[in-house]
Amino acid sequence: MTHAASGPRSVTLPGAVGLASGRTLTGVEVAYETFGTFDDEGSNAVLVCHALSGDAHVATGPDAEGAERVGWWDGMVGPGQPIDTDRYFVICSNVLGGCSGTTGPGSIDPGTGRPFGLRFPLVTVEDMVDVQAALLDELGIRRLLAVVGGSMGGMQALSWARRYPERVASVLAGATTWRLGAQAIAFNEVGRTAILGDPGFQGGDYYEGDVRPNHGLAVARMIGHITYLSDESMHDKFGRRLQDRANHAFDFVTEFEVESYLAHQGRKFVERFDANTYLYMSKAMDYFDLAAGAASLADALAGVTARVLLWSFTSDWLFPTYHGREVVDALVAHGTEVSFIEFTSPYGHDSFLLENDEQGHFVAPFLEQAYAEVRRRGGDAR
């Protein structure tokens, strides 16, 4: 079965999707895009998982209107890139609970005929992965060459390794963790509080009116964006420089460059993202614990059969290097083949979106080796 490259597509999953909360969803729609061609052996499928504010458009290609649009990981995914779409068949889907075509809080609740809002069930990273697995079933893809992701996407990749070991040959996860620390959870809570306290939030039922919680969502994005940067990168980019003025205003106005930058990021985010989805995605990250239900992280990962590549960045204080090393130690305890790199970078958590050349030096050969091994074994044994 061969799939040509595509623009935005969607599929409605059959039956009911069971969630970790005990609730179910029916008629789940999944928005996805593909890049490259699925080979005849079924051996070259790579699932790329996006982070909190991402979507299915991982590489340059047509948008919903048919116009070419740059992807969010364009320096890593595409023709001739480390994840080479001339060689691999790349799939990326918007996660469950998202706001870019996949069923989420802004979708219509069939029971009421109105958007779900906060009546949408809370979802977990594992729920997202289960929906991805169901999407692959619909596409006729039984086994993946690799699952790749950074940040929340890395959480999904690691969850794939534990949850579906028989379906994935390799896992590549960067700037991620096996569970958030208290500081990261705290920042997420501040962002949610900004949204929930916005008068425009209206208990989550703002879709059918003209007033939305734009201020709260913008503030949440500003807070989140600070956590994605580092002290060094903020100093180099902004310092204490004033914006469009020579002296202090002695008023509560935007006057420093860094203030103007954060305000701009907040405004841009409101134009493309949904406040309810921000609540659901950040909560899913808080809930994520790869060792849940096991005596230890090592016990939780005992069944992992995939080859694993993990990487971190020196200035990423949101997902610090020791989180990755804990996963490495747990995998090594059971003899799992794992590689780990810590990159020196000044860009904080955002490094995984910016340091493409550095990441590519390791991602490309790791994927090539995994692909050669899968093909040596005869590809997908369908």
Per-domain residue ranges of the chain? 9-178+289-376, 184-285
Mean pLDDT over the full length of the chain: 95
Backbone dihedral region for residue 333 (phi beyond 0: left; psi -120 to 50: alpha; all else: beta): alpha
Catalytic residue, candidates 316, 345, 350, 380: 316
- Report pLDDT digits (tens) over 203-212: 999 999 999 9
Asked if 323 is an active-site residue, the reply is no
Asked if 235 is an active-site residue, the reply is no
Residue type at 96 in one-letter notation: L
- Report pLDDT digits (tens) over 338-379: 999 999 999 999 999 999 999 999 999 999 999 999 999 876
Does residue 107 contact residue 116 with C-beta atoms inside 8 Å? Answer: yes
DSSP string, 6-64: -SSEEEEPSSEEE-TTS-EEES-EEEEEEES---TTS--EEEEE--TT--S--SSEE-T
Class of the CATH domain delimited by 9-178+289-376: alpha beta
Backbone angles phi, psi at 343, to 5 degrees: -90, 140
Q: How confident is residue 3, by pLDDT bands cut at 50, 70 and 90? A: very low
What is the pTM (predicted TM-score) of this model? 0.96
pLDDT at 185: 98
- Report pLDDT digits (tens) over 151-186: 999 999 999 999 999 999 999 999 999 999 999 999
Q: How confident is residue 380, by pLDDT bands cut at 50, 70 and 90? A: low
pLDDT at 1 over 80: no
Does residue 367 contact residue 46 with C-beta atoms inside 8 Å? Answer: yes
Kindly give the pairing relationship between strand 89-93 and strand 45-49: parallel
Asked if 316 is an active-site residue, the reply is yes
Kindly give the pairing relationship between strand 89-93 and strand 29-35: antiparallel
pLDDT at 65: 83
- Give the single-character DSSP code of 165: G
Residue type at 334 in one-letter notation: H
Class of the CATH domain delimited by 184-285: mainly alpha
- Report pLDDT digits (tens) over 9-41: 999 999 999 999 999 999 999 999 999 999 999
Asked, colleague to colleague, whether 9-178+289-376 and 184-285 share their fold, the answer is no
pLDDT at 5: 52
Catalytic residue, candidates 151, 170, 230, 282: 151
